[in-house]
Amino acid sequence: MGDEPHTDGPAQKRVVVLGGGLAGLSTALQLIYRGFAVTLIEKRPFLGGRAFSFLDPKEEVEIDNGQHVFLGCCTYYVDYLRTIGATDKTYLQDRLKVVVMKDGKHGIIGSTPWLGRLHLFPSFLRYPHLGVWDKVRAIYGLASMALTRRKDGPSLLDRETAYDWLKRHGQSDRAISALWNMILLPSLNDDVRDASADMAIMLFQAGLLKGPREAAIGLSSVGLTSLNGDPALEVLTRRGADMALGKTVRSIAVDDGRATGISLSDGSTVEADAYVSALPFGVLLDSLPDNVRGSAFFSRAANLGSSPIVGVHLWYDRQIMDEEFVAFLDSPVQWVFNKSRIQGTASETDGQYVCISLSGAWQFIDRPKDELAAEFIAEMERLFPRAAGARVVRSLVVKEPQATFSAAPGAAEGRLPQTTPVSNLFLAGEWTDTGWPSTMEGAVRSGVFAAEAVAESLGSGGSGS
């Protein structure tokens, strides 16, 4: 994205963007900078899609619908933040450092900057949660990942689970649990036994095996709506985009291979030169006419599934942890984030706010919230000695049943490209064929790719086209 480009002449060609998540916002920004007139339709009264937050009236703090992080390799997302002027609301590590705890034993997965692509190896050698032979095998596994050549679209790697690939490359169940799944589960929102080898290898190749900066973890110091949605709304409004918030897409009319209009929940119809759907795959399919939805192209998306995330938010009357975040092994607690420290509100006297993030949370998603809160409060007392003497002032459980698309084997077949057989209908969304798993980076990339496809089809948005 970069700096805001200049446009020549009035914008004449109109593009309607369906969906105000990161994919839709990325699309809209790219298009309006290219000189197109843009109408963005979003069913909620705010922007951000599945990366949003809400104001908790009791604690007067923004609560994220799920703990989101990004890596230094997420260049499109970082560029998006720069475009909307929100980089100062984030923090990016200088180099990767993750504290990993097991039975009170402290380990670190981190970077040694001067080693370049080999930056992770020293921390693996010192990693206390693996034996000597598992460490040797882990290095072999990393080298194998680095040398594996991935292919675009469906492939043999996409049909194999990450677990089976790791076993074929000498990884023990202990190593898979104590190392590989600790990284892959929160990144793919699927257990290694349920995620494709292709997405697992992609994650390591793009980030952890590329270099210290690419592997560094980034966090938001504000709520996700304040980070991703509100600044984008300000930029788009200032640039003249029409923002139709609080309106739901009912149907997409298609006639003779072209989209002819969008019917909305208020009974109105919106027409344009082109349309970009940044809707979830299920919502898109429900919006299309039967004959289009059932076509060989669009019906592929019906094979995609979703994976849940659960967040357990706890407020203590005192400090119970010092680190920004900690990963745990052999515990139902996966990762704990010190929200007070991350958001800059940490105080010795004001207590502490933490979030337990549970990815691939199939075993938790259908359980009662009060039951989950009690279970994790008890587990936190076991994991953090200071929590045993602290009082939980408040707890809040947030569930996202369809937080991400599932990176299951075979998912690549259902991930559609940006262009479609409907000549003026284009697709965005992290579920589309971006080459990335279901991440904020993948969502922003899809929007950039969709805008490029629109521009290639329609030419310039201005009068000189």
Whether the predicted pLDDT of 441 surpasses 80: yes
CA 179 to chain CA mean position, Å: 21
Percent of the chain with pLDDT over 90: 85
Is residue 184, in this structure, part of any structural domain at all? yes
Last residue of a domain, one of 213, 237, 252: 213
Q: Are residues 170 and 196 in the same domain?
A: yes
Is residue 336, in this structure, part of any structural domain at all? yes
> Rounded mean pLDDT of 214-223?
95
> Rounded mean pLDDT of 174-187?
96
Percent of the chain with pLDDT over 70: 95
Supply the CATH number for residue 198's domain: 1.10.405
Last residue of a domain, one of 405, 420, 440: 405
Q: Are residues 43 and 134 in the same domain?
A: no
- What pLDDT digit, counting tens, does each position of 314-326 carry? 999 999 999 999 9
- Rounded-to-integer distance, Cα 224 and Cα 229, Å: 7
More confident residue, 219 or 4: 219
Is residue 443, in this structure, part of any structural domain at all? yes
CB atoms within 10 A of CB 433: 17
- Residue 107 has a pLDDT of 95
What is the count of structural domains for the chain?
Answer: 3
Q: Grade residue 2 by pLDDT with cuts at 50, 70 and 90.
A: very low
Q: Are residues 206 and 253 in the same domain?
A: no
> Rounded mean pLDDT of 396-408?
96
Pairing verdict, β 325-328 and 258-264: unpaired
Q: Grade residue 72 by pLDDT with cuts at 50, 70 and 90.
A: very high
- Residue 142 has a pLDDT of 92
Pair 125, 133: CB distance under 8 Å:
no
Q: Are residues 297 and 312 in the same domain?
A: no
Whether the predicted pLDDT of 346 surpasses 80: no
- Residue 360 has a pLDDT of 97
Is residue 83, in this structure, part of any structural domain at all? no
- Residue 124 has a pLDDT of 85
> Rounded mean pLDDT of 160-174?
97
Q: Are residues 296 and 430 in the same domain?
A: yes
Is residue 421, in this structure, part of any structural domain at all? yes
- Residue 117 has a pLDDT of 83
Q: Are residues 321 and 279 in the same domain?
A: no
- Residue 462 has a pLDDT of 64
Is residue 313, in this structure, part of any structural domain at all? yes
Q: Grade residue 141 by pLDDT with cuts at 50, 70 and 90.
A: very high
Q: Are residues 241 and 287 in the same domain?
A: yes
- Residue 58 has a pLDDT of 76
- Residue 7 has a pLDDT of 45
Q: What's the domain range around 367?
A: 306-405
Q: Are residues 294 and 427 in the same domain?
A: yes
Is residue 383, in this structure, part of any structural domain at all? yes
Supply the CATH number for residue 41's domain: 3.50.50.60
Supply the CATH number for residue 374's domain: 3.90.660.10
> Rounded mean pLDDT of 265-274?
96
Whether the predicted pLDDT of 134 surpasses 80: yes
Q: Are residues 242 and 286 in the same domain?
A: yes
* Residue 257 Ramachandran class (φ > 0 left, ψ -120 to 50 alpha, else beta): left
Pair 145, 201: CB distance under 8 Å:
yes
More confident residue, 348 or 72: 72
Last residue of a domain, one of 362, 385, 405: 405
Q: Grade residue 61 by pLDDT with cuts at 50, 70 and 90.
A: confident
- Residue 194 has a pLDDT of 97
Pair 428, 80: CB distance under 8 Å:
no
Q: Are residues 192 and 237 in the same domain?
A: no
Is residue 72, in this structure, part of any structural domain at all? no
Q: Are residues 324 and 375 in the same domain?
A: yes
- What pLDDT digit, counting tens, does each position of 277-332 carry? 999 999 999 999 999 999 999 999 999 999 999 999 999 999 999 999 999 999 99
- Rounded-to-integer distance, Cα 332 and Cα 341, Å: 23
Whether the predicted pLDDT of 128 surpasses 90: yes
Contacts of 456 (CB under 8 A, 6+ apart): none
Q: Are residues 453 and 430 in the same domain?
A: yes
Mean pLDDT of the chain: 93
